């Protein structure tokens, strides 16, 4: 563990912990490395979602009932 790393305690479901330990052994990686990668990937996905929301912020809003009407008119439902 490098000095730049921070230590944290997390509580995992026992079956998830078992699966994570097995994956760590099979991939020759540490549990910490696998958790860091999973968290990093989740944060990247969140950043992409937030960027998409920002890109669409100025789009006009449509109500649910108007959307259903539009789908019916287009023959999609």
The answer to whether position 4 is within a domain reads: no
The answer to whether position 30 is within a domain reads: yes
Per-residue 3-state assignment (H helix, E strand, C coil) for the chain: CCCCCCCCCCCCCHHHHHHHHHHHHHHCCCHHHHHHHHHHHHHHHHHHHHHHHHHCCCCCCCCHHHHHHHHHHCCCC
Domain that holds residue 69: 14-73
| Number of structural domains in the chain | 1
Per-residue pLDDT at 68: 97
Give the pLDDT band of residue 48 (cuts 50, 70, 90).
very high
Give the pLDDT band of residue 2 (cuts 50, 70, 90).
low
User: pTM score, two decimals?
Assistant: 0.70
């Amino acid at each position: 563990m490098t000095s730049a790393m921070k230590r944290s305690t997390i509580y995992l479901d026992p079956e998830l912990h078992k699966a994570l330990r097995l994956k760590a052994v099979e991939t020759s990686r540490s549990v910490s490395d696998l958790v860091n990668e999973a968290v990093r990937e989740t944060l990247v996905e969140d950043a992409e979602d937030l960027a998409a929301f920002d890109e669409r912020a100025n789009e006009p809003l449509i109500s649910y009932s108007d959307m259903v009407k539009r789908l019916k008119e287009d023959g999609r439902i």
